Structure 1
Amino acid sequence: MFEATKVGRTVSKGEFKAQRDELRTELLDAQRRLKESDISVIVVVSGVEAAGKGGVVNALNEWLDTRGVQTFAFWEMSDEERERPRYWRFWRALPPRGEISILFGGWYLGPIEQRFQGHCDDAALDAELARIVDFERMLTQDNALIVKFWFHLSEKDQKKRLKELSRDDRSRWKMLPEKSKFSEQYQHFEHVAERVIRQSDRGIAPWYLVEAENTRYRDLTVGKTLLQAIHARLGEQQVVTEPATPSDPLQLPESESAQVTLLDQLDLSQSLEKDAYKEKLKQLQAEVNELAWTAYKKGRTTVLVFEGVDAGGKGGAIRRITQAVDARLYRTIPVAAPTDEEKAHHYLWRFWRHIPRAGHMILYDRSWYGRVLVERVEGFATEAEWRRAYSEINEFEEQLVENGAILMKFWLQVSDEEQLRRFKDREDTPYKRYKITEEDWRNREKWSEYKAAINEMVARTSTEYAPWTLVEGDDKYFARVKVLQTVCDGMREALKKKKSEIGTGVLRCGDLLRADDD
């Protein structure tokens, strides 16, 4: 694979200067056009040691308008990064639409290092690369342009370059803390790199192999390739993607018995007497408080997702949990329409940014499921967007669980009659009026569409590692107790496991190795 990067390509100083000035003008023009588009550009810079990755990035920052460019180096992980899923640090680096992010190594650095150092085998590496391919496809389908450069040197040229760098105290290579450098096992590193590139090279996010011995050739090649990629994307009427959307939902016969959904199976008549509710509430609140502190001490994050029909009792259920838990341990995120900043990113970006540090609890009052519910029904997302969201959401939740999160999802359901009663009660009660809007009334008119969307959502996203709990909500006492009991049971069971037992059973390179509990 790397033979073509060892043929001795060069560019003279005169040729470089003439082409550089023209290239810079064209890049700035393309960047201005990019700013007016809804396209984001992600440049991944990787390669062998001493190939001059820093020099390339410096050149790009010199040629481009740096006000629209951000550069990220993924060296040692910070404490707050270690306490979250690995991809959290990458989501924070994703550019808004119209801008460019340059990533040193990106999501490839960890898997390459761990495989090279023998911390995982080829099967685990391939599993992580499959996740990366899905991640890049998801970003591309959201209108991101991903351009990946691999810079390569022959073993002889690398040794020569490293000798020069060893005299520079500011060089990244000299600052590396590891005793064993990749360059000391050139063939092994090249073998790992070849596997990574082969498994993750896709038409929607291709790798470009660049010979790095001549710096002028290297820099011009990168600049021209990036320019061509931006021009090509700006010239497209729509994003080029690989067909990867779920098949059409089942086409059901037109009879009432054939249209039954999961929600129709709920027994909404279940109730709880007030005295029994108070007694149970006191017991469960004391238990959830104790479990929250245990989770904090063990470094286990808790993520609670609340969805449901309008006036279904989400707020009341959330309050019964937050009343019991120390305010220093939790945060509640009410999810409304996305802001301009959030619209400029992939829809999951706003949720990745809120993932708490290890040991803390986060409660979502509505969540990422808006993509397959309100955005689907109201037409805010295209059919292709909401269809592929099921797999995107499952992948997101799988990463949370693999990182040790205790994840529970609740759908609170009430009957049509009970919802109408609560709507009217909100209109008649001054301090409740803010809860009722014209949109709530409009949603009632589309209930059949919402019911079909909810049924498909549960069917596609209730997984072994993140199942849905459907809550019968006509009686608020019953619903609140069921939610609290489920939270306590789920946390208690999860906290029995050692860190080494957490996850979904798939070993992947790149994730931090977890030590057993004390």
Structure 2
Amino acid sequence: MRVFQSAALPVSLSKADFKKLEPALRGDLLAAQLEMIASRAFSTVIVIAGVDGAGKNDAIARLHEWMDVRHLVCNAYGPPTREERHRPEMWRYWRDLPARGKTSIVVSSWYNDPLRDRVLGRDEQCVFEQRLSRINRFEALLAHEGVLVLKFWFSLGAVAQKQRLEAVRDGKARARRILTEWADIPHCADAQTVFQQAALATSTASAPWMVIPSEDPDARDLALGRSVQLAMAHRLKTEPGEPMAVPAAVAGVERRSPTEAIDLGASLDKERYDEELERWQRKLAHLVDRKAARKLPLVVVFEGNDAAGKGGAIRRVTWPMDPRRYRVHRIGAPSEEELAHPYLWRFWRAVPRKGQTAIFDRSWYGRVLVERVEGFCSEADWARAYNEINQFEAEMARAGALVVKFWLAISKEEQLARFKARQETPYKQFKITDDDWRNRLKWDAYAQAAGDMIDRTSTTEAPWHLVSAEDKRHARVTVLKTLCKRLKAAL
């Protein structure tokens, strides 16, 4: 396993040596934490894992003693709650990510269930490896988004572990401070093999495993504290590693924009529109009221050109739905709190539970559209985001969600006409802003970005549906019809 290159510390310490070393470590660790808090350049996630009886709780208590607890939280996870079972597997870990400047200690982390299921024979080896691959992608995403991921495995020999656990049972140890994550799994060669496989598969450059011998509690805690301090200090002096940027397009190959890929001449007359609208709204109401729909989280994403009619289409979708079972998220610029977290954090928090619908007016695709075009993020960030978004949507799909994505397209000429109409109509003036006019000047750049987005994120789990929105009536009916067909197939 890859081990962080920290200062060499002995496996055991005398009490006198511990008293000599502790003050300096405490000062260094607190100084590194306070500098991290002041800079808000990154957050830190400390994963504590290992065998029962190795002293994980005692070590966590030591960190709380040595660090500023106002910026430190411990998240310990048990079996998923009813609320969590209705969400993707990683949802509860995304929910609890610390903001920049903060530190989170994680116990019974995202490794717990994959390890347990493999040791107990619930998962085949191939499934176990797939789950470990998803963990690697999750941790790589965190590292790219400014999270320092530190993973510690507390090791303890079989004899020492048996003695400690027997002391707990006999009332000779502080039982309240013993973590028994693996009480139902015997200390056997098979379990150790699975633990080692996981560590080898998930010890990466951005999130290495650090093994800490735990026979001596004082030496264990000093090793943990010094490793955290050195990692923070190193991270404060460097920038997170930038991945290789993927070219936005092949040189010399002209990109067709989404507006060129569909027929913008499609339209509906008023009489036909009224008939079709009523028909598909009635159909949608029937589908979402079905018993099977109560087990299905529904995610509907609306993207498209400015003034393409996303708001109008959303209103026609929500009209036949029970307002208690849907929520519309209108996505604008991220708040200060959201900027302090990884990019996808605010969207993970909005993932609906079973039987609920989340409708996004703009979405996580802002990273590869407006943030890319306006230069609000680096090229490495938006180039990496295609894969991160695909993984995010795949996680929702694996949790049973139906993800339906619409791109509403209009021509440059129609957009100008709608902009002018908004300016001249008092009750529509709130819809037009200076940003809309500035974005219009970059029409070609946005068309290029949209083409790349659709090419790279239209997947089997979450395909894009391109909708001609030159005629609003046609767009609204097409959205309703497509949503009904996707729902019917899923149910």
The answer to whether the 8 A contact 2:294-2:356 is kept is no
Alignment match, 1:499: none
426 and 295 in structure 1: CA distance in 2 versus 1, 3 angstrom threshold = farther
- Give the superposition deviation at 1:396: 0.1
Q: Distance in 1 between matches of 2:223 and 2:125?
A: 32
- Give the superposition deviation at 1:463: 0.4
**2:102 matches 1:106:** no
**2:357 matches 1:354:** no
Q: Distance in 2 between matches of 1:114 and 1:12?
A: 40
SS at match of 1:151: strand
Task: Could you tell me which runs of 5 or more consecutive residues in structure 2 were left unpaired when the two chains were aligned.
Answer: 3-8
**2:125 matches 1:122:** yes
SS at match of 2:375: coil
Alignment match, 1:215: 217
- Aligned-pair Cα RMSD in Å: 1.8
**2:442 matches 1:446:** yes
- Give the superposition deviation at 1:36: 2.0
* 2:169 equivalent among 163, 166, 189: 166
Q: Distance in 1 between matches of 2:179 and 2:223?
A: 27
244 and 130 in structure 1: CA distance in 2 versus 1, 3 angstrom threshold = farther
Q: Distance in 2 between matches of 1:328 and 1:123?
A: 41
Q: Distance in 2 between matches of 1:129 and 1:343?
A: 28
Residue identity in the other structure for 2:112: L
* 1:465 equivalent among 452, 457, 461: 461
Residue identity in the other structure for 1:378: E
Alignment match, 1:205: 207
* 1:330 equivalent among 326, 329, 336: 326
| Structure 1 stretch displaced more, 364-373 or 226-235 | 226-235
- Give the superposition deviation at 1:408: 0.4
TM-score (norm 2): 0.95
**2:310 matches 1:314:** yes
Alignment match, 1:84: 87
- Give the superposition deviation at 1:175: 7.2
Q: Distance in 1 between matches of 2:291 and 2:205?
A: 44
Q: Distance in 1 between matches of 2:45 and 2:287?
A: 41
SS at match of 1:106: coil
- Give the superposition deviation at 1:8: 9.1
* 1:367 equivalent among 363, 367, 380: 363
Alignment match, 2:297: 301
* 1:398 equivalent among 394, 399, 414: 394
Deviations 1:161-205 (A, max 9, x none): 1111224585476877x8x722x2421111110000000011211
Alignment match, 2:226: 224
TM-score (norm 1): 0.90
Residue identity in the other structure for 1:84: R
Alignment match, 2:250: 250
Alignment match, 1:385: 381
SS at match of 1:24: helix
Alignment match, 2:339: 343
Q: Distance in 2 between matches of 1:35 and 1:249?
A: 39
The alignment of Structure 1 onto Structure 2 pairs a total of residues equal to: 482
* 1:279 equivalent among 264, 272, 275: 275
Q: Distance in 2 between matches of 1:244 and 1:137?
A: 13
- Give the superposition deviation at 1:235: 1.3
Residue identity in the other structure for 1:286: R
Q: Distance in 2 between matches of 1:44 and 1:259?
A: 44
Residue identity in the other structure for 2:71: G
SS at match of 2:289: helix
Alignment match, 1:512: none
Alignment match, 2:266: 270
Percent identity of paired positions between Structure 1 and Structure 2: 41
SS at match of 2:323: coil
Residue identity in the other structure for 1:240: G
